[in-house]
Structure 1
Amino acid sequence: MVSTNDRRTAEGTEPEPQQPRHYSEEQILESVSPRRARKLLEATLAGGFRPEEDPARDNVAAGEGHMLLMPSVLGEWSGIKVATVSPGNPQRGLPRIQATYLLMDTATLSVRAFLEGNSLTTLRTPAISAVAADHLAPRDARTLVVFGTGPQALAHIEAFAVVRDFTEVVVCGRSPEKVEVAVEHARGLGLAARAGDAQDVRSADVVVCATSASEPLFDGALVPDSACVVAMGSHEPGARELDAALMGRAQVVVEDAATALREAGDVVLAIEDGTLCEESLVPLADIVTGAVAPATDRPRVFKCVGMSWEDLAVAVGIVEGSENDDV
């Protein structure tokens, strides 16, 4: 009998397996700018990928929270994000959401990279929101109203500042201290900024909702017909940031209808309330490719919950490490 080692010697030495690279938060944020992340996602949709092809994320109860398993395949690359959500962690001095990403080549399913998952999420979520806002927001948008003061709120301010020339950013939040930090963050980007409240949506061109709220943040009737609203804070069917009245009068754009009907409380609850119908949901891919035109006579709402393909598209951009900021 010929041993495995003898066979390898007779047939030629097999190549040493490639060692996976590890990407820290700092390396991830240095590798891909918010602008490039947006363009990576937009190019994926414009290239014909349909988010409905993505597997549904698996939600597993654990402890006082849950684990999320998010696999995806895009051509020669495959990957999975393992994320955990533990609501009590902030009181422990720990992040509410923690995550790790494994990137593999599709041909052999060998792991090529491990990426710190929270920073990947912080990068890709505002990037998909910015793709939507770039297509749905008024070209002359000047006022951005942001609900929330956490990492996603700050990242959305940075990502949205690239797609429109805002002259004012208004930050709304429960903690005056955290609001002031967010205001200073916006000012550090060269934007005029101030603290505000729910009434400021009256003059908003773009509204971003990036909170952990389970009830509507403002009266949807106050939102101008010309405005674009992005809600990304919830991925649970029983929680919403936007009221049913706004969802009913708006053109509602989602990453994928089936995903929204499973996970987006803003959509699910508005349908239950009878103001929104499932058939009216517009896939973001149709907006990007021009198959459906943005409405001009009513608000445009983009409700996102985050999908696996978004993590994969940005992770590939990080690993491929292009120095060119264009796709």
Structure 2
Amino acid sequence: MTADALPYLDAAAVTRLLAPAAAVEALAEVLREGLDPETCPARSAVPVPAGELLLMPAASGSWAGVKIAGVAPGNAALGLPRITGSYLLLDGATLRPRALLDGAALTALRTPAVSALAIRHLTARERPLDVVLFGSGPQAYGHVDALLAVRKLASVTVVGRDRGRAEGLAAYARGTGVPEARTGTAEAVAGADLVVCCTTARRPLFDGRLVGPGAVVVAVGSHEPDARETDTALVRRSEVWVEARTAALREAGDLLIPEAEGAIGPGHLTGTLADLVRGPGLPVPGHAPRLFKSVGMAWQDLAVAVAVHRAATG
């Protein structure tokens, strides 16, 4: 296969070919089939003048692939996306290239799908959820769509630094059929069933003592050991679920900072996403909040990229 013949799936194609619900199911399927996230290769991060290059390889079954992502904080001032990159999908047996996908669109699809898969198992389905959503960028929009794929939403309160962008996201949520969607402040977490954090913050976004018993908090914005979106108070009082113990204890500042403070130990982790998918199911949330901390892993990109490719090739 020549380079010219390699199929390219651009951002529009990735979004069109795979709905959020299908992305959630693609992740669940590979976990049910026995993939072990604990053995997934670690992410490589290389500092460059514009920001950071991330290299994320994975192989599973008859497929392999690698994402090269760029994180360029200065792009916002230029009107460009903060996350860039490409995904090279390979045949697992021969490692011959099969397709090239837009990496930013793939990330925007798979990260909310990971959150939604966890939320499907961590929340009760009996009634619609009141959601507080921190962030107003592409990941925030993706999370609205992914949440609606797994749960009914009673309300969405958007908390963002840019009021105009936050109001835009609230309007988008109303357009999807959410009965109530508005902007608000961090104190709104006190009345939330679900809190979703998808920001570039490096310090806690809210007071974890305000989160109610039985509420679920999902934090996806950081994969750096010295950055976090949630505080020590929340982590200490919560059940903590992660994608993989190895990745979380290597990259999740939300957990590593409280551990360095002596507030928790490695044994504080309750379980993993694979435990949730393969397990018998959890009881209705009780007196402790449930925190799902995601750092993003290469196996997730591979699972969703394969699903997109299959949809493209029929």
Q: TM-score, normalised by structure 2?
A: 0.94
Q: CA deviation at 1:94?
A: 2.0
Q: CA deviation at 1:322?
A: 7.6
Corresponding residue for residue 20 of structure 2: 34
> Does the CA contact (< 8 Å) of 1:211 and 1:233 recur in 2?
yes
Measure, in 2, the Cα distance between the counterparts of 1:78 and 1:311.
10
> Does the CA contact (< 8 Å) of 2:121 and 2:281 recur in 1?
no
> Does the CA contact (< 8 Å) of 2:190 and 2:211 recur in 1?
yes
Task: Please list every run of 5 or more consecutive structure 2 residues that lacks an aligned counterpart in the other structure.
Answer: none
> Does the CA contact (< 8 Å) of 2:135 and 2:197 recur in 1?
yes
| Higher mean displacement: 51-60 or 283-292 | 283-292
Q: Which amino acid aligns with 1:220?
A: G
Measure, in 2, the Cα distance between the counterparts of 1:96 and 1:142.
30
Q: Which amino acid aligns with 2:275?
A: D
State whether structure 2 residue 183 is matched by structure 1 residue 195. Answer: yes
Measure, in 1, the Cα distance between the counterparts of 2:152 and 2:313.
25
Q: CA deviation at 1:292?
A: 7.7
State whether structure 2 residue 152 is matched by structure 1 residue 179. Answer: no
Q: TM-score, normalised by structure 1?
A: 0.91
Q: CA deviation at 1:142?
A: 2.1
State whether structure 2 residue 147 is matched by structure 1 residue 160. Answer: yes
State whether structure 2 residue 295 is matched by structure 1 residue 305. Answer: yes
Bigger-Rg structure (1/2):
1
CA-to-partner distance for each residue in 1:250-270, whole Å, 9 max, x for gaps?
Answer: 011111111111211101101
Measure, in 2, the Cα distance between the counterparts of 1:165 and 1:75.
34
Measure, in 2, the Cα distance between the counterparts of 1:108 and 1:87.
37
CA-to-partner distance for each residue in 1:63-118, whole Å, 9 max, x for gaps?
Answer: 14111000000100000000111211211222211110000001111100000110
Q: CA deviation at 1:225?
A: 1.2
SS in 2 for 1:213: coil
State whether structure 2 residue 277 is matched by structure 1 residue 288. Answer: yes
Q: CA deviation at 1:275?
A: 2.1
CA-to-partner distance for each residue in 1:194-224, whole Å, 9 max, x for gaps?
Answer: 1111111111001000111111111101101
Measure, in 1, the Cα distance between the counterparts of 2:197 and 2:276.
21
Task: Please list every run of 5 or more consecutive structure 1 residues that lacks an aligned counterpart in the other structure.
Answer: 1-15
Structural RMSD (CA): 1.7
Corresponding residue for residue 4 of structure 1: none
Measure, in 1, the Cα distance between the counterparts of 2:280 and 2:57.
27
Corresponding residue for residue 13 of structure 1: none
Question: Relative to structure 1, is the Cα distance of residues 227 and 158 closer, same or farther in structure 2, using a 3 angstrom cutoff?
Answer: same
Q: CA deviation at 1:17?
A: 6.5
Q: Which amino acid aligns with 1:205?
A: D
Give the one of 61, 68, 87 matched to 1:75: 61
